[in-house]
A and B are shown apart, each in its own frame.
Chain A
Amino acid sequence: GAVVSQHPSWVICKSGTSVKIECRSLDFQATTMFWYRQFPKQSLMLMATSNEGSKATYEQGVEKDKFLINHASLTLSTLTVTSAHPEDSSFYICSASGRLGGEETQYFGPGTRLLVL
């Protein structure tokens, strides 16, 4: 149980285009999902908290107009990188809050590698 999927697993796009990444909880409902970004050999940096049916809460320094988050259902959150630039190239990972074996924790997707040319 507690499987989270992401699509696509990798994407290459031209500078200026927008890219949408989907995060789905496959076998449980998640009222809260999180979006992270990870650069090589660095830690996961939380970008935003996504709550079903409400606006996302962004971390300091993350542009909400550039990284659009939509949490339309209890099993799906999407992150859209608008007008992507090479500096947006990174590994984007989502997670969903869930409870397994009595422990509330985050279950992570496999990540999406974005390369902006």
Chain B
Amino acid sequence: SQKIEQNSEALNIQEGKTATLTCNYTNYSPAYLQWYRQDPGRGPVFLLLIRENEKEKRKERLKVTFDTTLKQSLFHITASQPADSATYLCALGGSSNTGKLIFGQGTTLQVKP
């Protein structure tokens, strides 16, 4: 069955450092992959989308890589700030054009001042 794995342990880093979060998947060939941010008690907020034919995508302090051979995506936040503290979810989308997403369980990031 399709499986998405994100590091379930919280990631604690110092302000100013680069945070790197990992998303691995098996038994799936996604057409695209998305990253969302979720704060406690709130709905997820879309951050970035990367397609299967793209290796890397950037948006301000965010960078996403997508390796379809390794079946892995890395999500980087450079110059991290305490306000970046949240849970980050990766989600895979298929080519069936239904728009359905399969979500990982998320990794909680804590940036300490």
Contacts and interface: CB of A to CB of B under 8 A. Distances in A.
Interface string B74-112: 000000000000000100000000111111111000000
A105 to B, nearest CB: 5
Chain A binding surface, main DSSP class: strand
Interface stretch (A13-21, A65-73, A77-85, A109-117): A109-117
Contacts of A109: 43
Interface string A49-66: 100000000000000000
Contacts of A49: 98-100
B46 A107 contact: yes
B89 A43 contact: yes
A32 interface: yes
A104 interface: yes
Contacts, number: 52
A75 B106 CA distance: 29
B113 interface: no
Given A43-B89, A43-B106, A44-B89, A106 B101 contact: yes
Q: Which among A4, A93, A104, A105 has the highest number of chain B CB atoms within 10 Å?
A: A105
B49 interface: yes
B85 to A, nearest CB: 16
Contacts of A44: 44, 89, 103
A34 B100 contact: yes
29 contacts: A4-B43, A6-B43, A32-B98, A34-B100, A41-B105, A43-B89, A43-B104, A43-B106, A44-B89, A44-B103, A45-B103, A46-B101, A46-B102, A49-B99, A49-B100, A93-B43, A95-B43, A97-B99, A104-B99, A105-B49, A106-B46, A106-B99, A108-B43, A108-B44, A108-B46, A109-B43, A111-B41, A111-B42, A113-B41
Question: Would you list the 9 A-B pairs with minimal beta carbon distance, nearest first?
Answer: A108-B43, A43-B105, A44-B103, A43-B103, A97-B99, A111-B43, A108-B44, A93-B43, A105-B46
